[in-house]
Structure 1
């Protein structure tokens, strides 16, 4: 503060500045501290939630891989629903929904299975997951006899999923009694994987059942 000639004038100027601006400075400091501590609290809460969700998911995996029984099924369903309700935006919630969908298919409760798979799609933007879920939905819809809706889901935007989608289309055509269309789909899929048959190990059997000698292809 070179413009002030005496130390007393400088002190007086500082006091005057503090009088006029001190409150706003204190508020800024308090706000900054609140943001810092609030962020730390939020971070700690996130880490705690992750740990809780992870523990619940491990319980779900443990129960579902043990010998199945009515009590085990109910426990697994309870845990899966807890994950969905309390950790909706987490990967664990989506894994739980996939588990519940599989459980519903086993019970032939196809509408519930579709609802669980829709939950996964609504909270996921990963193309690979979307392709996998749509494949499962297509099989469920075909089990319900909704063949056109099933076929509509099987348009692979990722070439890696094209053979699997064509094979599922073929399976659906078989259910529809359209063996010729099934053969066309299987052949198209086989042409994509014939150099790596492990990608679709049952295609050869399905084509053989339709009178196709895959050795000649």
Structure 2
């Protein structure tokens, strides 16, 4: 008989506990479900956004290849405005900058590259943007600004940075500085390059160094 009364007491305790705690439990359950469904919704939306940005970037590349510059501008602008948080926005700006250079629209190229640098999430991409921007500035006759960008340096693109510095110095008539930059660049390739992807770069640099043999002779 005592067991029966114990069971009734436990049931009554459970009822009392539920009466006192049902609301916090319901709220907690609701918040938990909201968090789960909210995260799933966010992930779905994010994947959809990336897919749309990727498709638009592919269309931009097609427009650039077809020499439809005005269409490419509209696509790059949409990537920048609607998909700024995706890597395709900076990539689109870089692609359009390349087309602008080919079309001798150097101001447009500079603006796009500056935007890409400011919005690129991938830190490894920023030196490449600086390299391209330095080339554009040089083509615009802004050699000091170009050299200032190159002075920032970049481990992953050090050879190309040094080569471009040499080109600028040579154009300015500073043949000794050009030779120093080319020599540093070819040294950055790390020895034997025959049969490697670096072979064309090494060959180009060696030709530039050979053309400055008179400077080397004076220095020796």
Q: TM-score range by the shorter chain?
A: 0.7 to 0.9
Matching residue within 149, 164, 168 for 1:168: 164
Cα shift at 1:122: 2.3
Matching residue within 185, 202, 206 for 1:189: 185
Matching residue within 175, 181, 186 for 1:179: 175
Name the counterpart of 1:31: 31
Post-superposition Cα deviations, 1:8-45, rounded to whole Å, max 9, x if no partner, equal 22222111111111111111111111111111111111
Task: Give the TM-score taking structure 2 as reference length.
Answer: 0.81
Cα shift at 1:207: 2.9
Give me the whole-angstrom Cα distance separating, in 1, the residues matched to 2:48 and 2:159.
Answer: 42
Post-superposition Cα deviations, 1:37-94, rounded to whole Å, max 9, x if no partner, equal 111111111121122112112212222223x2xxx21112211221121111211111
Q: Structure 1 unaligned segments of length 5 or more: list them.
A: none
Give me the whole-angstrom Cα distance separating, in 1, the residues matched to 2:192 and 2:108.
Answer: 39
Name the counterpart of 2:206: 204
Give me the whole-angstrom Cα distance separating, in 1, the residues matched to 2:132 and 2:202.
Answer: 16
Give me the whole-angstrom Cα distance separating, in 1, the residues matched to 2:42 and 2:123.
Answer: 30
Q: Structure 2 unaligned segments of length 5 or more: list them.
A: 194-198
Give me the whole-angstrom Cα distance separating, in 2, the residues matched to 1:207 and 1:35.
Answer: 63
Give me the whole-angstrom Cα distance separating, in 1, the residues matched to 2:100 and 2:64.
Answer: 14
Change (3 A) 1:195 1:45: same
Segments of 4+ in structure 1 off by > 6 A?
none
* Number of aligned positions between the proteins: 206
Give me the whole-angstrom Cα distance separating, in 1, the residues matched to 2:65 and 2:107.
Answer: 25
Give me the whole-angstrom Cα distance separating, in 1, the residues matched to 2:71 and 2:98.
Answer: 15
Change (3 A) 1:176 1:93: same
Structure 1 contact 207–213 (Cα < 8 Å) conserved: no
Higher relative contact order (CA 8 A, sep 6+): 2
Task: Give the TM-score taking structure 1 as reference length.
Answer: 0.82
Name the counterpart of 1:18: 18
Change (3 A) 1:212 1:128: farther
